[in-house]
Structure 1
Amino acid sequence: MELPVLLGLLQWALIAGAPYTLLPVYGWVMFVAVTLWILTTILFFMILFGAQQKLTFIPWPLTVMVYFAGATVLYLTAFLANAASVDPFYISWYQRYYQQMAAAAFFGAVVTLAYGASAFFSYLTWKGDGGNAATTTVPT
Structure 2
Amino acid sequence: MEESAKPRTIVTSSSSPYVEFDNFSITSVSYDRRFLQSAPGLLIMLELVLGLLVWTLIAGTEYFRFSPFGWVMFVSVFYWVLTLFLLLLLLTRAHTRIPQIPWVTVVLVFNCSATLLYLVSAVTEATLVGYGVKGRHDYNSWAASTFFAFLVSLSYAGSAVLSFRSWQKRDE
Summarize the Cα distance change of 1:95–1:61 in structure 2 as closer, same or farther, 3 Å threshold. Answer: same
Cross-structure match for 1:68: 111
Alignment map for 1:56-135 (pairs within 5 Å): 56-87=99-130, 90=131, 95-129=136-170
Q: Distance in 2 between matches of 1:31 and 1:129?
A: 33
The alignment's C-alpha RMSD in Å is 1.8
Q: Distance in 1 between matches of 2:164 and 2:132?
A: 44
Return the match for 2:67 from 5, 12, 24.
Answer: 24
Structure 1 unaligned runs (5+)?
131-140
> What percentage of residue pairs aligned between the two structures are identical?
38
TM-score, reference length from structure 1: 0.86
Higher normalized strand content (fraction of residues) = 2
Q: Distance in 1 between matches of 2:145 and 2:81?
A: 18
Greater shift, 51-60 or 107-116, is seen at 51-60
Cross-structure match for 2:41: none
Higher normalized helix content (fraction of residues) = 1
TM-score, reference length from structure 2: 0.70
Summarize the Cα distance change of 1:12–1:91 in structure 2 as closer, same or farther, 3 Å threshold. Answer: closer
Question: What per-residue deviation string (whole Å, max 9, x for no partner) do you get for residues 50-98 of structure 1?
Answer: 12210101111111011000111110111010001111xx366994311
Q: Distance in 1 between matches of 2:64 and 2:117?
A: 20
Summarize the Cα distance change of 1:92–1:52 in structure 2 as closer, same or farther, 3 Å threshold. Answer: closer
Summarize the Cα distance change of 1:31–1:68 in structure 2 as closer, same or farther, 3 Å threshold. Answer: same
Structure 2 unaligned runs (5+)?
1-43
